Structure 1
Amino acid sequence: MTSSSPLKGLSGILGFVLILGGAFGLLHEWFGWIRFFGFVRFLVPSGHEVFGYAVMIVLGLAVGAAGDLVGRRSRG
């Protein structure tokens, strides 16, 4: 039985939300599609939406990778 770190689970969820929120934000800005993760628009300053959503995607990837690293270190 393997025990997973709670930090790994939290960072996985946070990374997932940031990646999807950023991706759906970019789709909304570029194509005008329905805003799926609408709450993330409060995280991006007005006038800098495309850059802000791209930063959210990169930040989500970094948080997910850091959580994976923490999970590997706690097992080893």
Structure 2
Amino acid sequence: MKRLLEFFGFLALVQGTGGLAYEITGRLRWGVTLRWSVLDGYELYASIALIVLALALFAAAESRGTG
């Protein structure tokens, strides 16, 4: 379970960072937040939320201990 939480945390971190990098620089358009039409206009907030979710998943994985 710990590995699964870390995996999903890594995915959320990569997607959130990619969306945030695009919103700041305007280059390298990639990431799931830019592809969902439901998030039009809210990509920055969704990217920040993904990064916060990643941190929460990493914390949950650490609290699980080994295994």
Q: What is the distance in 1 between the residues matched to 2:29 and 2:2? A: 28
Map 1:20-35; keep pairs closer than 5 Å.
20-35=14-29
The amino acid across from 2:62 in the alignment is: D
Ranges in structure 1 where 5+ consecutive residues have no aligned partner = 1-6
Alignment of 1:3-22 (within 5 A): 7-22=1-16
Alpha-carbon distance in 1 for matches of 2:25, 2:60: 32
Q: TM-score, normalised by structure 2?
A: 0.81
Segments of 5+ residues of structure 2 without an aligned counterpart are: none
Taking the aligned partners of 1:35 and 1:9, their CA distance within structure 2 comes to 29
Task: Report sequence identity in percent.
Answer: 34
**Residue number among 56, 61, 64 corresponding to 2:55 in the alignment:** 61
Show structure 1 runs of 4+ deviating over 3 A: none
RMSD between aligned residues: 1.7
Number of residue-to-residue matches in the alignment: 64
Q: How far apart, CA to CA, are the structure 2 residues paired with 1:30 and 1:58?
A: 18
